Amino acid sequence: MTKMKPRRKSTRQETVETSGPNWVLIGSIIGITAVALIALAVVGSLNPTAAPEPTPVLSDTVTNATEYCETNPERCVMTGNVESEVTFIEVPDYGCPHCANFNASKAPTLYEEFAESDQIRWVIMPFALGDLTKPSAGAVLCANEQSGDLGHEFHKNVFALQGSSAVHTDGGFMSVASGIEGLDEDAFETCIDEGRYLDAVSLNQQAARSLGVSSTPSFFLNGRLISGDQDIAVFTESINAELN
């Protein structure tokens, strides 16, 4: 009978590895983060966030629309007989369908009868009921910067953008400008890119509202307010009454 040998106990000891913090990796992360924060601080100091420009405020109370435009010709489009004692002022919003209708159906007849015959001074005070339509009003004044006739021509044609994707956009303004003979398109484009007359539109908003304008189109005939797209006979009779 063979005797079994007793099993010998293993003398090999199992080793349990204990992992500590990887200080090299942590140090690298901290270093990269610090460099990034310093870079951001430097960029921020070189290019600080510009504070929005405050909305300009009229320095004087406006009591007469005619006097306002005479005193601030860069804010109003003036055509017709500038020496006439009868002044007809249109206050439009360029997103307003009633304003577009007036300019399509009544303004051409009235302008031909009274302004082109040098009986009256025809004035436009570009206005905006809200911020959306301010660029269009500013674009009218950009065209007006070159001449009152060009400003008036742009005013008439910019209403055609209503209902299109180009309404109140620089691209839309340039498409209108390209169809106006004598308008310097490069100078016009620079003007709208700069938003050169947006402050003027803000001042027109304040002036018109202080004069009682709460809707568009509104009109002033020698300072008297006429609200809404009235029948053409209302305008004709009112202007003739002033002339006589």
Spatial separation of the C-alpha atoms in residues 97 and 100, rounded to whole Å: 5
Task: Please list, in sequence order, all residues whose beta carbon lies within 8 angstroms of the beta carbon of residue 82, skipping any fewer than 6 positions away.
Answer: 121
| C-alpha distance across the termini of the chain, in Å | 150
Structurally, what CATH architecture does the domain formed by 65-243 represent?
3-Layer(aba) Sandwich (3.40)
| 73 upstream amide cis, omega within 30 of 0 | no
If you write DSSP's letter for every residue of 62-129 in order, what string do you get? ---HHHHHHH-GGGSEEEE-TT-S-EEEEE-BTT-HHHHHHHHHTHHHHIIIIITTTSSEEEE--B-S
How many other CB atoms are found less than 10 A from the CB of residue 154?
A: 26
Question: Does the pLDDT value for residue 231 go beyond 60?
Answer: yes
Confidence at residue 172, expressed as pLDDT on a 0 to 100 scale: 98
What are the pLDDT digits (tens) for 100-151?
A: 999 999 999 999 999 999 999 999 999 999 999 999 999 999 999 999 999 9
Specify the pTM. 0.79
Confidence at residue 51, expressed as pLDDT on a 0 to 100 scale: 57
Q: Where are the domains of the chain?
A: 65-243
Q: Average the pLDDT over 172-178 and give the result.
A: 98
Q: Average the pLDDT over 38-54 and give the result.
A: 54
